[in-house]
């Protein structure tokens, strides 16, 4: 939802409005590493909010969707395709799509969300003065993952092992930053972190949960990002099926029946949502 909120904020007065000329409909590119079906609820919410502002898809703006479907190596070609179409703005969710877009164009504005640490990824020069053509928000993903681990430790009695689901291949710079933060956090909490790579399809996720049970983990975490978000229903169902308490990065996991979710850091306190397991 972060990408929708920030784009809606930019749309009326930013690059989209500037691109609008008499007889010309602005074209917006959307680049993501997950799937169209998984993003459907987000785009419906996006269209509703845009309509409230007088922006109607197909009438006074168009969207070009490009989904890598979990294959990171497709992102550069998909980004290049959007640039060839001369879109006026590129929306991205996550560090990998943002990097692919930035490496393809230095002139088309890029609006990102959930990029973790955009400075460490090389997306912006600094949060205060980003420079270049990339803007958006940072979700503090690595720091929140450490907090999720602390909450699991407090919640699950005598927790010794935690399974951490991540994309096969490590997830690029975003995945590296996450692991760099969470590994020492697990060590400090005297928790054995079992890193479990998975493909985000039915067979891959089932195999990952089987691995988690074999490793005798007492609880589960997932990495953040749209690929896991789009498979949230199946992930939650598998966690229940295998009797694994899990903490998730977004409210929608809890809405799908997940145990609990951290939301954000606010005034020194971590806010989180519970549902009965």
Alpha-carbon distance of 28 to 200, in angstroms, equals: 27
Q: What is the dihedral of CA 203, 205, 211, 212, to 10 degrees?
A: -160
Asked which of 136, 170, 205 is the last residue of a domain, the reply is 136
Q: Model's pTM, two decimal places? A: 0.60
Same domain, 46 and 95: yes
Please tell me the distance from the alpha carbon of residue 185 to that of residue 193, in angstroms, as a whole number: 10
116 and 19 both lie in a single domain: yes
Q: Are 10 and 132 within one domain? A: yes
Q: What is the mean pLDDT of each run of 10 residues along the chain (277 residues)?
A: 48 50 82 85 86 91 91 93 96 88 95 76 80 79 77 90 86 71 91 92 92 95 81 92 90 85 45 39
Residue span of the structural domain in which 15 resides: 2-136
Angle of CA points 62, 63, 69, to nearest 5°: 165
CA atoms within 13 Å, Cβ hemisphere of 165:
33
Residues 226 and 248: their CA atoms lie apart, in Å, by 13
Q: Say if residue 235 is in the same domain as residue 196.
A: yes
- Check which CATH number belongs to the domain holding 158 and give it: 3.40.50.2300
Domain count, the chain: 2
Predicted local distance difference test score (pLDDT) of residue 255: 86
Same domain, yes or no: 51 and 90: yes
Give yes or no: residues 197 and 266 share one domain. Answer: yes
pLDDT at 21: 56
The 10s digit of each residue's pLDDT in 235-247 is 999 999 999 999 9
Check residue 219 and report its DSSP letter.
E
């Amino acid at each position: 939802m972060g990408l929708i909120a920030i784009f809606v904020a930019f749309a009326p007065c930013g690059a989209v409005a500037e691109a609008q000329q008499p007889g010309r409909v602005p074209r917006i590119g959307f680049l993501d590493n997950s799937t169209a079906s998984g993003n459907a609820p987000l785009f419906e919410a996006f269209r509703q909010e845009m309509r409230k502002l007088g922006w109607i898809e197909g009438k006074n703006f168009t969207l070009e969707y490009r989904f890598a479907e979990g294959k990171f190596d497709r992102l550069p070609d998909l980004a290049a395709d959007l640039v060839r179409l001369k879109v006026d703005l590129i929306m991205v969710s996550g560090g990998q799509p943002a990097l692919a877009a930035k490496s393809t164009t230095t002139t088309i504005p890029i609006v990102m969300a959930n990029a973790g640490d955009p400075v460490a990824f090389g997306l912006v020069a600094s949060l205060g003065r980003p420079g270049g053509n990339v803007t958006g928000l940072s979700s503090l993903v690595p720091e929140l993952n450490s907090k999720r681990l602390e909450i699991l430790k407090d919640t699950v009695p005598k927790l010794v092992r935690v399974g951490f689901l991540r994309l096969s291949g490590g997830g690029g710079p975003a995945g590296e930053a996450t692991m760099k933060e969470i590994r020492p956090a697990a060590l400090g909490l005297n928790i054995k972190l079992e890193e479990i790579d998975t493909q985000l399809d039915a067979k891959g996720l089932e195999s990952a949960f089987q691995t988690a049970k074999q490793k005798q983990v007492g609880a589960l975490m997932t990495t953040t990002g749209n690929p896991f978000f789009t498979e949230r229903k199946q992930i939650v169902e598998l966690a229940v099926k295998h009797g694994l308490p899990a903490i998730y990065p977004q409210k929608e996991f809890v809405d799908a029946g997940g145990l609990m979710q951290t939301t954000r850091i606010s005034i020194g306190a971590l806010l989180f949502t519970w549902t009965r397991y």
